[in-house]
Structure 1
Amino acid sequence: MIPLQDILPRRNPPIMTWILILINVMVFFYEISLSPLEREIFFRHWGFVPARFFDDYFSALIGEPAYRKYLSLITHLFIHGGWLHIIGNMWTLWIFGDNVEDRLGPFRFLLFYLLCGIFATLTHAIIYKDSVIPVVGASGAISAVMGAYFMMYPLARILVVFPIFFFPIFFEIPAFLYLGYWFLIQFYSGLFSLALPTSFGGVAWFAHIGGFLVGALTYRIFCKKRRFYLDEYCIFGSLFDIDKK
């Protein structure tokens, strides 16, 4: 299933979502202007390399400044490995980010996005702490946005397309079904990647899992107002203290 849009109005323009998409696109166009060798160096310098973060000897061996391993926790979120990578991530951010930003406000949304993105990447890095492969992409942070959306608007309708051979089938499903299905795919893909790394490698599944969970569990900390929202209460009201105003 490929999401096309959500059927949910917003109160305010998603300024920070637009800014994040713009920065990602600008960095990507800079990447494709580089030669293959320059691009590889760029990825290794500004992508997140788990071994560089956890192994001081490795960092000293490659002769990189110490600040870079910490700065890469942020910079890797704005680097993408190809057209499909950035289009998929930015499209997903556009669908789910605007309504989450609407509840959090632009600056809280940015803080939520960056902190959850860091946590998501560290989830992957703890499991693959000896990896020297750079981790790049915004998908960990976007997974957190999806986790927050899952909790905020479980009954919102998501328009999806399901291709059957060459015939696209369009239909709407509740957000909690689509996002729950998406999370299960990430979860089982992550488990299989541990058992069959050659078949499921190349994707930071555990960054997706960690991002989704931390977004779902912490979004209320970042909300600008604790108020009652019907969708949230209908499914999850029994699990949380809801302030009805």
Structure 2
Amino acid sequence: MPAELQQAAAREPILTLPGALTAYVLLIAVIHLRVLLPPELEDWTIDVFGFIPKRYDAMPLDLFPGGVGAKVWTFVTYSLLHANITHIVFNVLWLLPFGSALARRFGPFRFFLFMAVTAAAGAFAHLLTHEHAAAPMIGASASVSGTMAAAIRFAFVQGSFLSFSRGDADAAAKVPALPLSRALRDRRVLGFLAVWFGVNIIFGAGSLALGTDGAAVAWQAHIGGFFAGLLLFSLFDPVPRTSNAATASPADPANPG
């Protein structure tokens, strides 16, 4: 086989989704079938499994369905509910590159736990900034933001999925990550952070809605999930670190080649 065809064959798996991410997307799709329920049951589902800051006020527990249990599980379950197909598609499109790399790197158990933890971090940020709010928050955007933040810890490293030189999908997802302090000195990581925060600030300042039927974007939850993914990545990462200069980004002055 010619070298060009061998190289193409080696890179082809980058286009396939790992099983954990496929299962996550299918779970979201199946849960979205709730829209087929009668309106009163659909509203009940949102009230029981959506994240409602007012649920945590000092008030009778029967104001919202779900009781004490809903105060716990909604920190995660809200992330599996979406307003409409556009809302789902938008989140899935961002998950395809970043979530795929993270699912390959972490494996199923770590990946699902990571999605739950970043969802909870997003809900906590939303609770702090929307105290007493009665509107339910739904959507996986906080977890999606967390995967993006975690992935940039290794995405630009030579051989990884956003570098100029990479191998197959599994190898690209398992290059050693940079320490956080070093990653934050990488020009491309800083550029990514500037764009990501800029977009979220624009959405928040303009109260723009994106695929949520007029509901405001919960940008504080995005930031909560993002910081959780960035700071907690090392607790989930099974790939050993290395100080070898060969693992640095091509843009890193210590490894200009």
Relative to the length of structure 2, the TM-score reads: 0.70
Which amino acid in 2 is paired with 1:131? A
**Which of 218, 233, 254 matches 1:219?**
233
CA contact (8 A) 1:154 1:231 kept: no
Count of matched residue positions in the alignment of Structure 1 and Structure 2: 209
Which amino acid in 2 is paired with 1:37? E
Q: Could you give the per-residue CA deviations for residues 185-229 of structure 1, whole angstroms, max 9, x where no partner exists? A: 113433565xxxxxx961100011111111111111101122349
Q: CA deviation at 1:8?
A: 10
1:35-50 equivalent positions in 2, closer than 5 A = 35-50=38-53
1:193-212 equivalent positions in 2, closer than 5 A = 202-212=216-226
* 1:242 equivalent in structure 2: none
Matched, 1:14 2:28: no
Distance 1:232 1:141, change over 3 A: farther
CA contact (8 A) 1:187 1:209 kept: no
Q: CA deviation at 1:35?
A: 2.5
1:71-150 equivalent positions in 2, closer than 5 A = 71-150=73-152
* Fraction of identical pairs, as percent: 26
SS at 2:153's partner residue?
Answer: helix
Q: Could you give the per-residue CA deviations for residues 104-127 of structure 1, whole angstroms, max 9, x where no partner exists? A: 222111111111111111101111
SS at 2:135's partner residue?
Answer: coil
Aligned equivalents of 1:86, 1:183: Cα separation in 2? 21
SS at 1:203's partner residue?
Answer: coil
SS at 1:107's partner residue?
Answer: helix
Kindly indicate which of the two structures has a greater share of residues assigned to strand: 1
CA contact (8 A) 1:153 1:232 kept: no
Aligned equivalents of 1:191, 1:152: Cα separation in 2? 31
Which amino acid in 1 is paired with 2:134? V
CA contact (8 A) 2:53 2:131 kept: yes
CA contact (8 A) 1:48 1:134 kept: yes
Q: Unpaired segments of 5 or more residues in structure 1?
A: 1-6, 159-173, 194-199, 239-245
CA contact (8 A) 2:44 2:65 kept: no
Aligned equivalents of 2:137, 2:239: Cα separation in 1? 34
* 2:8 equivalent in structure 1: none
